[in-house]
Amino acid sequence: MALEDDLGLDYLTKLVNVQWESGLAVEFFDNDGPPEEPVTA
């Protein structure tokens, strides 16, 4: 219970099996934005 209280959905999102990156925000771009970064294996 203590673990859930501490981590809540932060913990749940880690279960979704994504590469974790800290922080809360992102930026979206229009057509003048930088190209998508290549995906590395």
Partner 1 sequence: MSYLHLPSINLADFSKGTISLWFRFSNDSVGKAREYAANYQPPDFGDSATGPDIFKATIPLLTFGRKVMAHTYGFVSHAWPFPTGGIGTYTAESVIKADSPCEPSHLGLTVPTGHDDQTTVALRMVFQSETRARVQGLLTEASDIHWKQDPPDSGLYQQYTVIKDISYVKTAMPETFEINPKFEVSADKWHHLLVSFDFSTPVDVVAIKGSQSDNVERDTINSTCKLWYAFDDENKNGKDNMGDSWGFHGPNDVIPITAIEAAISYTSPPISNDSSGGPTVTGELYDTEYHWAASPIPMSGGPVGLPASADYVSTIYHVEMGELQFFAGLVIDTGDQQKRRAFVDANGKPVKPADTEKALGRRPDILLHGTSNWKQGKNTGTTGLTRNEAGEDVVIDAGQFQHTGLIKKYTPDPALSETETA
Distance CA 18, CA 3 (A): 20
CA 1 to CA 41: how far, in whole Å?
A: 37
Most distant CA pair in the chain, distance: 47
How far apart are CB 41 and partner 1 at their closest, in Å? 17
Based on CB atoms, which residue is closest to partner 1, 31 or 41?
Answer: 31
Site for partner 1 in 7-26 (CB under 8 A): 7-10, 12-13, 15-16, 18-26
Q: Which residues bind partner 1 (CB under 8 A)?
A: 4-5, 7-10, 12-13, 15-16, 18-37
